[in-house]
Structures are given as C-alpha cells and as structure tokens.
C-alpha cells in the first residue's frame, strides 16, 4: 500500500471514529434505533463505552495519520516545521 493511500485510510478512519463519537455523545439512542436492541436495558453504560472507545480510537487514528504525514513530508524533502 502506498504511503498516500495509507494516510488517506488513516484520516478516513479518524473521521469515522470522530463521527461515531459525536453522534453517540449527542444522540445516544441511535444505537437502539439502528440495531433494534437494548443490551444495557436503558442504563446508558453501552453508550458511554462507545463514546469512550470511539473517542480513543479517533485520537489514535489522528496520531498515526500525523506520524505518516510527517514521514511523507520528510521523504519528499519538504522543510520541517518546529
């Protein structure tokens, strides 16, 4: 896989996880509506777990994409910023 493709994939994953984070934070009942199930019986624990996990995964994906972007800049000979 080319570095540009990898960077695009990492940014796309970060966007998806960030969207799940935001939607679940603002509208936690979407999970029950989409899947037709309520595994936590209305306690909200599953929603908070999804908020925490998707937020953490978004941060990880952003960090990895940033590292990949810096590596691409270094390989292309672009001047480094402090």
What is residue 39's DSSP assignment? T
73, 80 Cβ separation under 8 angstroms = yes
Domain ranges of the chain: 3-76
74, 23 Cβ separation under 8 angstroms = no
| 3-class secondary-structure state, position 78 | coil
Per-residue pLDDT of the chain (82 residues; tens, 9 = 90+): 888 899 999 999 999 999 999 998 898 888 888 888 777 787 778 888 888 999 999 999 999 999 999 998 888 876 656 5
**Can you give the pTM of this predicted structure?**
0.77
Question: For the range 46-52, what are the long-range contacts, defined as Cβ-Cβ under 8 Å and sequence gap of 24 or more?
Answer: 50/20, 50/24, 51/21, 51/24, 51/25
């Amino acid at each position: 896989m080319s570095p540009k493709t990898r960077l695009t994939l990492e940014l796309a994953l970060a966007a998806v996880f960030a969207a799940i984070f935001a939607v679940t934070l603002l509208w936690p009942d979407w999970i029950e509506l989409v899947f037709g199930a309520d595994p936590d019986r209305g306690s909200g624990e599953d929603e908070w777990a999804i908020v925490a996990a998707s937020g953490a995964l978004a941060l990880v994906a952003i960090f990895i994409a940033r590292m990949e972007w810096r590596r691409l800049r270094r390989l292309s000979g672009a001047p480094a910023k402090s």
